[in-house]
Structure 1
Amino acid sequence: MAGNATGKDAAALKWYPVYTNPRAEKKALEALTEKGIETYLPLQKKLKQWSDRKKWVEEPLIKSYLFVHIPLQARAEVLMTKGIARFIYFSGEVATMPDKQIEDLKLLMASALELEVTEENLLPGEKIKIKAGPLKGLTGEMIAYRSQKQLLLRLESLGCSIIVNAAAAYVNRL
């Protein structure tokens, strides 16, 4: 279950999205890490306003979700972790995330662009590929949203979408 499996063991490891208890993402991440389970929690910085001050805080990009990189047999160990509610199911099966989607999500989080997550059922548009900038190489769907052209990367197995502002000059049709 350690983070850097190689060879035959690496093929057995898959990324699974898990649902956490409300506002327990960071504590669940810490508990899973202490167990030696490779975990990914995409965090973004947001400026929060209180009545007496403003402060930058790191919040989960997708509330109540994090990702574990485990063999299927390790599900019970994950479920016995404080803060973890359940695995996510898609079409009656435990949902998995392709390594490429996790890598793309990490790239998005490292890009310092402002991201927005929505659970709206957005209509699919043209398939595109970004040709320049920090997101170069990513593919997705172009949609009209709030009267702007934006790149939509759909994470189907999570049932949500990530919307990123992208200049039209940086996009090629596929």
Structure 2
Amino acid sequence: MKKSEKNWMVLYTRSRWEKKVDQLLKDQNFNSFCPLVKTSRQWVDRNKVIEVPLFRSYLFVQADQLERSRIMQTSGVVNFISHCGKPATLDNAEIERIRTIVKNYTDIEAISLEDINIGDAVKVINGPLLNHKGEIAQIQGKSVIMVIDNINCALTVKINHRELSNANNLFLS
């Protein structure tokens, strides 16, 4: 990356500071982008549609090498995401693709499946299959297909990833 060349970089922010950091960067005349999606939240007394960041604790900023230190001094900024010791960069086309997706689709959710892989032993921590143990057979969006061994038969269940706990050496217990 040339020093004068401005690239899109990924910033890691304090939890729930994405919109604040985005505004602070814009106030400093940086080109920043925090993709927001509308979602319905229910409180005890009402339902409300609010805008939440698509990527929790992440946003994008376009800057050159010299501007990085100014960005790091912004309240709420934790660090730049790096790859092989250099800031991770995205090209304009990738940023535009994210902008288009956020603009044209309403039911979008970024889901981290970094803790769940095919072949992992898991335990159900919520719902009607509470405490059942099984193995991840397939990942389909927000859901996983899990094989549950029980009384000499295999039961395949499609379950939301949030209802699972990764359990190392689960079958040894």
**Which TM bucket (shorter chain)?**
0.5 to 0.7
Matching residue of 1:70: 63
Q: Which amino acid counterpart does residue 103 of structure 1 have in structure 2?
A: E
Amino acid across the alignment from 2:39: K
Unaligned runs of 5+ in 1: 1-10, 124-142, 148-174
Alpha-carbon shift at residue 53 of structure 1 (Å): 1.0
Q: How many residues align?
A: 119
Structure 2 counterpart SS, 1:118: coil
In structure 1, which of residues 56, 63, 66 is the aligned counterpart of residue 49 of structure 2?
56
Matches of 1:90 and 1:98, distance apart in 2: 15
Q: Give percent identity, aligned residues only.
A: 31
C-alpha RMSD over aligned residues = 2.1
Measure the CA separation in 1 of the matches of 2:11 and 2:140: 30
Alignment partners' CA distance in 2, 1:85 and 1:59? 19
Say which of 61, 79, 84 aligns to 1:86.
Answer: 79
Deviations 1:10-48 (A, max 9, x none): x81100000111111111111111100010000000100
Task: Give the equivalent residue in structure 2 for 1:37.
Answer: 30
Determine the structure 1 residue equivalent to 2:40: 47
1:113 CA displacement: 3.3
**Which protein has the larger Cα radius of gyration, Structure 1 or Structure 2?**
2
Q: 1:104 maps to what in 2?
A: 97
- Aligned counterpart in structure 1 of residue 11 of structure 2, from 6, 18, 25: 18
Task: State the distance in 2 between where 1:47 and 1:113 align.
Answer: 11
Alpha-carbon distance between aligned partners in 2 of 1:25 and 1:85, rounded to the nearest angstrom? 11
Q: Distance in 2 between matches of 1:62 and 1:49?
A: 21
Q: Does the aligned pair in 1 maintain the 2:37–2:106 contact within 8 Å?
A: no
Instruction: State the TM-score, normalized to the length of structure 1.
Output: 0.63
- The equivalent of 1:135 in structure 2 is none
Q: CA deviation at 1:115?
A: 1.1
Residues 53 and 113 of structure 1: CA distance in aligned 2, closer, same or farther (over 3 Å): closer
Q: Provide Cα deviations, 1:127-161, integer angstroms capped at 9, x if missing partner.
A: xxxxxxxxxxxxxxxx84438xxxxxxxxxxxxxx
Q: Which runs of at least 4 in structure 1 moved beyond 3 Å after TM superposition?
A: 143-147
- Structure 2, unmatched stretches of 5+, are 118-138, 145-173
The answer on whether the counterparts of 2:21 and 2:75 sit within 8 Å (CA) in structure 1 is: yes
Q: Distance in 2 between matches of 1:25 and 1:113?
A: 20
Q: In the aligned structure 2, how far is the partner of 1:31 from the partner of 1:55?
A: 26
Matched residue of 2:110: which SS?
A: strand
- CA positional deviation for 1:89: 1.1
